[in-house]
Structure 1
Amino acid sequence: MSQLKNYLSAAVRIALGAVFIYAAVLKIADPVAFAGSVAAYRILPYFGSYLTAAALPFVELACGLLLVLGYRVRSGALIIGVLNLVFIAALASAIVRGLDIDCGCFKQGGEKTTPWAALARDLLFLAMTWFVLKAEARRGRGPEAGAGPEAPAS
Structure 2
Amino acid sequence: MAIEDAAVPDAGGAWTKAQPWITTAGRVGLAGVLGYAGWAKVTEPPALQKLAVSSYQILPDSLVAPVGFGLPILELVLAVLLLLGFGTRFTGAFSGLLMIIFIGGIISVWSRGLSIDCGCFGSGGAVEQGQTRYLQEILRDTGFLALAAWITAFPRSKLALDRLLGLYKD
**Any residues of structure 2 matched to 1:34-73 within 5 Å, and which?**
34-73=49-88
> TM-score, normalization: structure 1?
0.83
> TM-score, normalization: structure 2?
0.76
Match of 2:89 in 1: 74
Cα offsets for 1:97-123 (capped at 9, x unmatched): 0111111011369x9762222111111
Q: Unmatched 5+ residue regions in structure 1?
A: none
Match of 2:33 in 1: 19
The structure, 1 or 2, with the larger RCO (C-alpha pairs under 8 Å, 6+ apart) is 2
Q: CA deviation at 1:6?
A: 1.9
CA distance in 2, matches of 1:74, 1:13: 11
Cα offsets for 1:61-104 (capped at 9, x unmatched): 11111111111111211211111111111111111101111110
Match of 2:8 in 1: none
CA RMSD of aligned residues (A): 2.6
Match of 2:141 in 1: 122
**Any residues of structure 2 matched to 1:86-101 within 5 Å, and which?**
86-101=101-116
Moved over 6 A (4+): none
Match of 2:122 in 1: 107
Match of 1:148 in 2: 165
Q: Secondary structure at the match of 1:23?
A: helix
1:132 aligned to 2:151? yes
- Matched length: 146
